[in-house]
Amino acid sequence: MTNEITKIKRLLNKKEIGPVFFVTPNPNRGIGLEKEIENYHIICSQKTDLVESLKEEKIAILCIEDEKIKNSGKLLENKEVLNYIKKEAKGRQINIITFKPSPKISKICTDNNFRYLGNDWKLNRKFENKIEFANITNHLKIPNAKSKVVKLQKNNEKILNMLEKNQLIFQLPRGFSGNSTFLIENKKDLKNIIVKYAGREFKVSKFLKGNTYTTNACVTKFDIAVSQPIFQITGLTDYNRNKLGTSGNDYVCGEKLSAFEKKKIFDYTKKIGEYMSQSGYQGIFGLDFIVNKNAVDLIEINPRFIGSIPVFTKLQIQKGEIPFLLLHLFEFLKINYDFEILKNYFSYDFWRKQDNFNFSQLILRNTKENDIKIKKTMISGIYETKEDKLVLRNKNYFSKELEEDKLLIQCSKKNSVISPDAECANLQFGCSIMKGNKLDRNFAKTIDLVVGKLGL
Please classify residue 275 by burial: count the beta carbons closer than 10 Å to its beta carbon, then call 0-12 exposed, 13-18 middle and 19+ buried: middle
The answer on pLDDT for 180 being more than 90 is no
pLDDT of residue 341: 58
Same domain, 167 and 98: no
State phi, psi for 391 to the nearest 5 degrees: -115, 125
pLDDT of residue 229: 94
Same domain, 238 and 338: yes
Answer yes or no: are the C-beta atoms of 432 and 233 closer than 8 Å. no
309-337 pLDDT, tens digit per residue, is 999 999 998 888 888 998 999 899 887 76
The answer on pLDDT for 437 being more than 80 is no
Mean pLDDT throughout 217-223?
92
Strands 230-234 and 246-250: antiparallel
State how many domains the chain has: 4
270-316 pLDDT, tens digit per residue, is 999 999 999 999 999 999 999 998 999 998 899 999 888 999 999 99
pLDDT of residue 315: 92
Strands 40-44 and 20-23: parallel
Please give the Cα distance from 383 to 192 (Å, whole number).
Answer: 44
Strands 95-97 and 115-116: parallel
Comparing C-alpha atoms, which of 109, 139, 401, 118 is closest to residue 283? 118
The full DSSP string for 256-312 is GS-HHHHHHHHHHHHHHHHHHHHTT--EEEEEEEEEETTEEEEEEEE-S--TTHHHH
222 within a domain of the structure (yes/no): yes
133 within a domain of the structure (yes/no): no
pLDDT band at 178 (very low <50, low <70, confident <90, very high): low
Q: What is the C-alpha R_g of the chain?
A: 22
Strands 372-373 and 295-302: unpaired
Same domain, 372 and 432: yes
Which residue, 307, 327, 352, sits at the end of a domain?
A: 352
Please give the Cα distance from 328 to 313 (Å, whole number).
Answer: 12
Same domain, 221 and 344: yes
Same domain, 221 and 345: yes
Most confident of 87-101, 196-210, 337-351, 378-392: 87-101
Q: Which helix (H) or strand (E) holds 137?
A: helix 130-139
CATH code of the domain covering residue 109: 3.40.50
Same domain, 57 and 165: no
CATH code of the domain covering residue 225: 3.30.470.20
Domain extent for 164: 147-206
286 within a domain of the structure (yes/no): yes
Specify which residues 435 forms β-bridges with: 438
Mean pLDDT throughout 208-216?
91
* Beta strand spans in 111-252 (E): 115-116, 148-151, 168-171, 181-184, 201-206, 211-219, 224-226, 230-234, 246-250
Answer yes or no: are the C-beta atoms of 383 and 447 closer than 8 Å. no
254 within a domain of the structure (yes/no): yes
pLDDT of residue 155: 64
Specify which residues 151 forms β-bridges with: 201
Average pLDDT, the chain: 87
Which residue, 186, 206, 226, sits at the end of a domain?
A: 206
The answer on pLDDT for 263 being more than 60 is yes
pTM score, two decimals? 0.88
Specify which residues 232 forms β-bridges with: 249
The full DSSP string for 157-185 is HHHHHHHHHS-EEEE-SS-STTTTEEEE-
DSSP 156: -
Please give the Cα distance from 258 to 243 (Å, whole number).
Answer: 27
Same domain, 239 and 348: yes
Answer yes or no: are the C-beta atoms of 76 and 25 closer than 8 Å. no
Same domain, 213 and 200: no
Please give the Cα distance from 203 to 175 (Å, whole number).
Answer: 13
Please give the Cα distance from 253 to 386 (Å, whole number).
Answer: 27
CB-CB neighbours of 330 under 10 Å: 24
169 within a domain of the structure (yes/no): yes
Same domain, 193 and 221: no
Specify which residues 411 forms β-bridges with: 425
Same domain, 199 and 213: no
CATH code of the domain covering residue 188: 3.30.1490.20
Same domain, 19 and 58: yes
Answer yes or no: are the C-beta atoms of 379 and 49 closer than 8 Å. yes
Q: How many residues does the chain have?
A: 456
Mean pLDDT throughout 128-140?
88
418-430 pLDDT, tens digit per residue, is 888 888 889 999 9
405 within a domain of the structure (yes/no): yes
State phi, psi for 196 to the nearest 5 degrees: -80, -35
For the CA atoms of 243, 246, 250, 253, the dihedral, rounded to the nearest 10 degrees, stands at 50
Mean pLDDT throughout 86-109?
96
The answer on pLDDT for 339 being more than 70 is no
Question: Which stretches within 207-254 are classed as H helix?
Answer: none
411 within a domain of the structure (yes/no): yes
DSSP 108: H
pLDDT of residue 189: 83
**How much of the chain exceeds pLDDT 90, in percent?**
45
Please give the Cα distance from 453 to 448 (Å, whole number).
Answer: 9
Which residue, 352, 382, 403, sits at the end of a domain?
A: 352
100-123 pLDDT, tens digit per residue, is 999 999 999 999 999 999 999 999
137 within a domain of the structure (yes/no): no
Question: Comparing 130 with 100, which gets the higher pLDDT?
Answer: 100
The answer on pLDDT for 2 being more than 60 is no
DSSP 75: H
Most confident of 32-46, 76-90, 163-177, 402-416: 76-90
Same domain, 348 and 243: yes
Strands 95-97 and 211-219: unpaired
53-87 pLDDT, tens digit per residue, is 899 999 999 999 887 898 999 999 999 999 999 99
